[in-house]
Amino acid sequence: MSKNLKSTKIVLVLAVLAIFISTNTSFAGGAIKVGYDFPGDHEVSAMGFSGTEDVEAGFSITGEFFGSINEYLDLGGGLTWQFPRSQDDYHGDFYFIPLYAMLRVRSPSTETAPYFIGQLGYNLFDGDSDYKGSGAYEADLEGGFYYGIGGGVIIKEHFLVEAIYSVNNGTGDILSIDFDVEYSKFSILVGYNF
């Protein structure tokens, strides 16, 4: 996929989010979160074959904005930056940067307000030179589909704790061989809701 097409997808996702939120909701706020990503799975498939490797734990930072449809439902968007992480038995670090739309279903504002959250979007995908290779053996990495589902609790209107299962997808090409990458993990996040 060309860089122009990748940029076009990102701009399109942002434009749809902005239009939808501005016409259908009232601005409710946002959240800043720091996440601990438990060890996950990195699956690569190509030419009918696949293999899975364990991924070491990592950290991430998330920013979200959302608007309220009513007292129970918020719509919004977010961006997560994953600190580079590595697989147990392979050299090199990789990371995804998901850009997503989100739906949050919550109880009305109380001292402790539980909620469920769903995320759907597009990832940017990259890795260091050890992960991608070099020279004629350097892989060209592209982003792909992202989704996450989980729940959490807002404490005293501002502090939150969240658990989410998410899957990052990407693609690559090396020596004219296309391959798919799927990175799945479970995360615990803490943050500030404003």
Sort strands 73-82 and 93-106 into parallel, antiparallel or unpaired.
antiparallel
pLDDT at 1: 47
In this prediction the pTM is 0.85
What gap in Å lies between CA 65 and CA 35, rounded to an integer? 17
Q: How many CB atoms lie within 10 A of CB 137?
A: 9
What gap in Å lies between CA 135 and CA 191, rounded to an integer? 42
Q: Which two tokens stand for residue 55?
A: 């991924």
pLDDT at 131: 94
What gap in Å lies between CA 93 and CA 55, rounded to an integer? 10
Angle at 123 between CA 120 and CA 127, to 5 degrees: 155
Cβ neighbors of 163 (< 8 A, separation 6 or more) are 150, 151, 152, 186, 187, 188, 189
Per run of 10 residues, the mean pLDDT along the chain (length 194 residues) is 55 56 60 97 94 96 89 90 93 94 86 92 94 90 96 92 98 94 98 90
Distance of CA 89 to the CA centre of its chain: 24
The DSSP symbol for 71 reads S
pLDDT at 8: 58
Q: Is 157 left (phi over 0), alpha (psi -120 to 50) or beta?
A: left
Give the domains, in start order, of the chain with CATH numbers.
3-193 (2.40.160.20)
pLDDT at 15: 58
Burial of 167 (0-12, 13-18, 19+ CB in 10 A): buried
SS3 130: helix
Q: How many CB atoms lie within 10 A of CB 25?
A: 17
SS3 18: helix
